[in-house]
Amino acid sequence: MTQSRREFLAGLPVAASGLSQSPGGQTDFSSYSDADKENFLRQAAIVTVVEIGHGVTKPIRATMELRGVRHSGKIQVINKELPDFFGEDNKPVPMMDSWRFNVAAYKVDRLLGLKMATVAVRREFHGKPAAFSWWVDDVMFEEVDRIKKGLEPPDPEDFERQRAVSRVFDELILNIDRNLSNLLITKSWRIALIDHSRCFTPYPGIRNKANLTRCGRPLLESMKKLNSAGIAGAVQKFLTTAETDAMLARRDKIVAFFEQEVKEKGEASVLFG
């Protein structure tokens, strides 16, 4: 059976939100910490699986259960080479489409204090290593649907700040596959970032400076504090040394870019928060 993400979101209330019934009633997953979600994704039994039919990496939605509590997770086993990446220097850089980048993106997101990328863990699926990601709760729609319907957020400035932060994050991890369908918007108008299997190409430059419009001060300071040891401790074996070094090189260029923007345009025009 194949079902699109939009069909999932438009389904029964419990399935659409990712919530489920526990013996005592509906589980409040908003109280779950990252550690709680990681534990669930690693230990829960897989009850059913269905192809999402939405996305080039052929992700799978799994209904999972742990001690009577059910929730959905997304499984990606993709791990293959892509055509070489070419940056400004026009030199080829090997590029991968890999499940492990979903876990790495989640870990880097948390190092930066963003909490925008979904929780993801490594787990075996049918004998292969895979990323199991938390199915986002309380989703209203994808960004593509918001735009099609002409819906405006209740706080446009807050929403635009979230978008600006997400674009900086995507440049830092060199996400070549961000699109309006893998940017989700919850009922509280928070942005959730999913699908990070095409990131972390070991290219040390900024891919698209046009994405660097503004930056939150906390994010800028957090980027400055990134170092090889901290990243290695967080991502474990999900990034190679070359991928980590390239991300730090991009970080240096992104920080320098915003510092120059502040000099030219003024801090109030570039930084917020």
Structure confidence at residue 55 (pLDDT)? 56
Query: Is residue 113 predicted with pLDDT exceeding 50?
Result: yes
pLDDT at residue 54, rounded to an integer:
62
| Mean of pLDDT values over 189-197 | 97
pLDDT in tens, 210-263: 999 999 999 999 999 999 999 999 998 999 999 999 999 999 999 999 999 999
Q: Would you place residue 59 in the very low, low, confident or very high pLDDT band (cuts 50, 70, 90)?
A: confident
State the chain's mean pLDDT as an integer: 90
Q: What is the pTM of this model?
A: 0.90
State how far the alpha carbon of 231 is from the alpha carbons of 28, 30, 254, in Å: 32, 27, 17
Res 126: pLDDT:
95
Least confident of 36-40, 57-61, 154-158, 233-237: 57-61
What is the structure's pLDDT at 192? 98
- Select the more confidently predicted residue: 149 or 54: 149
Distance CA 234, CA 34 (A): 14
* Whole-number pLDDT of residue 52: 79
Percent of the chain with pLDDT over 70: 89
